[in-house]
Structure formats: C-alpha cells, structure tokens
Amino acid sequence: MVDFADIERARERLDDDTVVKRTPVEESTSLGEFVGADVRLKMEHLQWTGSFKTRGAYNKIAKTLDTRDVDRVVAASAGNHAQGVALAATKLGVDSTIVMPRTAPQTKIDATRDYGATVELVGDDFQEAMADARQRAGDPGVEFIHAYDDPAIVAGQGTLGVEMHDDCPEVDTVIVPIGGGGLIGGISLAFDELSPDTRIVGVQATDAATVPDSINKGIPVTLDSVDTIADGIATGGISELTLSLIESHVDEIVTVSDNQIAQAILLLLERAKQLVEGAGAASVAGMLSEDVDVQGETVMPLLCGGNLDMTMLQTVLTHALTHREQLLKLRVRIQDMPGRMAEITRVIADHDANIHASEHDRADTDLDVGEAFLTFEIETAGSEHSATIVDAIEELGYEVEYMNRNAMKEVMMQWNTTPM
C-alpha cells in the first residue's frame, strides 16, 4: 500500500525542476460564470512532457536504483506514460524501451523517441502493448514500469496533490480524470492527509469507465475494448491497489461522454486559451456536467495532459463546431433547373456565410421526377445565424432539411448553459 510518508519521500526525489516543474494555477472567471463557482485550473498540461506522468515514473526508477542495478526499464503506454518514463530514464542514466499500441498518436510516438526511448509498436490497444512489455521485462537487469499499479508510481503522482493543496489550501472540490487510477489515488491520499474535508471527484470517459462497475462489484473490472477521444485515460482497467485508494479516499465518481469532452476542449481553447487533450479536458467536462454541483465553491479541475495530436484536434474542433451549428449541413430540395443553385448560394452569401462544400444529388428515391437535392456545408457564426439563413432560403419556397441540428442544444442543456 501507499501512505503519505511515501509521497513525502517522492517529493524529495523529485526536487529537481529540470525533471518536474511546479505548474501554475490560474483562475478562470469564464468557467466560473458557467458553474457559479471560483474555478482554479491546475495547469499540469504545462509540465515538461505535457503531463503529470514523469512524477510517478521518476520516483519509481529512482527508488529502484537506490536498491539495485538496472540496465533498462520497459513500459507500456498509449502516450503520456511513455514520455514520462522516457524522460525519467534518460535523466537517471538508464535505457528505456516503450511498447505503444499501433494506434498511438504519431506526435506521442515521436516525442517519446525524442526523450531518449526506444519505441516498439505492438497491438491495437493498450492491453496488447502491456502484454508485450511484460514479456520483455522478464530479462535480467530490466525493470517494468507500470502506468498505475505500483505504490511508487502512486506516490509520485501524489506529489501533485501536495502541490495542488499548497497552491490553493482553501479549495472545496478537486476534480481529477481517471484512467488506471494512479493519479487520483495519489492525489486523494495527499488531500486526505492535508485537507480531509476537500471533496475529491473522479471523472471517467463513459466508453472507458471501469470504476463505477469495479466499486459495485468490489473487484477491479477490465473492459475488453474502449472507445474514447480521451486516449490518455483509455486504459480499460484499474488495479486492486488503485481501487482500494479510490474506495478509501475519493468521494464521487462521474462519467462524461466524448461529446462533453470535445466541448470542454473547445471551451478551454476559447475561454482559458489552453490547449489540452481529452484526458485533460475530462475534469472540466465533469465540472460542467449536471452530476457535479460546485455552486458557491472554490473548485480545482486538474488539466492533467496537453499532448493533443493535431489530427485529433481537427476532428474535435469539427465535431464541436458542428454541435454549435457553426458548421452547418443543409439539404435543399429543388426543381432540377438552371439557376436554382445560384439563387440559393446568393442567399447564403448575402448573409455573410461561407460555403465549405456543396453536392448536387439526383439519385435519391425520396425525389420525384425532375427534382434534386442540393447539400451545403456552411460556416456560420452560430445557431441564430444558421436559423436566419434557413429562414431566408425557405422564404424563396424551398424545402430545407437540417442534417446536424439540435445536438449542441441538447449538450448545452445538459450543462445548464447556453451556446456561446
């Protein structure tokens, strides 16, 4: 098990700001207005490797080297743990091999190599990469560095909890993303010692959630597959160690959808000017959900990672803007005659909207003879602007169908907010 003394010893090992720096806390008045609270963002995504993972990795490797010789460390990771282990090993003069699933973002693969590790791509998910890494760790002089199921890893992550308490000792609620549970295990243990009245809320992605079922059954539950944009918390399982810490020290567990996570990423970009990955944004998504009431409190969501692949950023932005109707897809039924497309595009242009793409479809069984569908992808200023454009097209006698309307309204109603 882990106790607070282990976290204190980990802090001593991590007393080197070239390995782990003290990340800032910033008040977000915009987010505070959404939830009626004093919101303090813990910016751990600004850590050297873009996430908290170096804390646990460095503590584990340094502690191991105190007791025996190690030639190489091996780890399995979807990305952030990989970079943490690579940097920690390089700083401590040990070779490292990181096994990553073939689906890992290229930016995280490249960054891991840049920190000095040998990267092996194996399997399509974290579980397959983990099995391969454990096999490699059977060689003499090789130490396996687990992403979360290790007391030294948990203690290292717990140093972040001490830092968060020092940053804001008056905090009422701390919100922490959960993958394997090592991060929230360490943070909740630290707060239980330093501020036991502080509420600790854990957040999991709905399609990677293991903790609620694990608590209900009293044993760690592993998922056969996970499906979430928050790859940093897509471990698909927790351990007996982390489950016991969660049961002992965490007050609430909530789940959030990928839609909510995507909106939180965009909200952080717009309102806090911070680029975070899905795992890092999960805490804000949880805070904005109807399942967490922080009104009147001082609340600290942890932005635990900022390693967002640019391809994923593009996907998330497209998805989020679509929900806001800033990217609008319309289908207009027309008589297939010259001038119809010109008339409709003129309306769109007169309303200062930009057409990204258009399609002319005559082969549809819903059409009568001599009819066609025109489909437009349009960039607008938002839902009110979109409604004005549709009204103008309909006033000309055309039948217009929204292809992607109302989804954002449902999400925002769930958050008890209005579109920005």
Question: Which CATH class, in words, describes the domain spanning 4-52+154-320?
Answer: alpha beta
Tell me what the mean pLDDT of segment 178-196 comes to.
Answer: 97
- Is pLDDT above 50 for 395? yes
* Percent of the chain residues topping a pLDDT of 90: 78
- Is pLDDT above 60 for 363? yes
**Per-residue pLDDT reduced to its tens digit, 198-227:** 999 999 999 999 999 999 999 999 998 888
Residue 130 near residue 76, CB atoms below 8 Å:
yes
Cα angle 312, 316, 317 (rounded to 5 degrees) comes to 115
**Per-residue pLDDT reduced to its tens digit, 74-119:** 999 878 999 999 999 999 999 999 999 888 878 889 999 999 999 9
pLDDT band at 406 (very low <50, low <70, confident <90, very high): very low
- Is pLDDT above 60 for 419? no
Tell me what the mean pLDDT of segment 267-273 comes to.
Answer: 94
For CATH 3.30.70.260, list the domain ranges present in the chain. Answer: 326-404
Residue 340 near residue 134, CB atoms below 8 Å:
no
- CATH 3.40.30.10 at 326-404, yes or no: no
* 53-144 CATH: 3.40.50.1100
| Structure tokens belonging to residue 274 | 């911070």
| Structure tokens belonging to residue 286 | 């949880």
Can you give the pLDDT at residue 405?
A: 60
Q: Which CA distances in Å does 30 have to 39, 69, 75, 268?
A: 9, 51, 39, 10
Most confident residue range from 7-21, 93-107, 130-144: 7-21
Can you give the pLDDT at residue 415?
A: 38
| Mean residue pLDDT across the chain | 92
**Per-residue pLDDT reduced to its tens digit, 291-310:** 999 999 999 999 999 998 88
Alpha-carbon torsion angle 260, 264, 267, 272, nearest 10: 160
For CATH 3.40.50.1100, list the domain ranges present in the chain. Answer: 4-52+154-320, 53-144
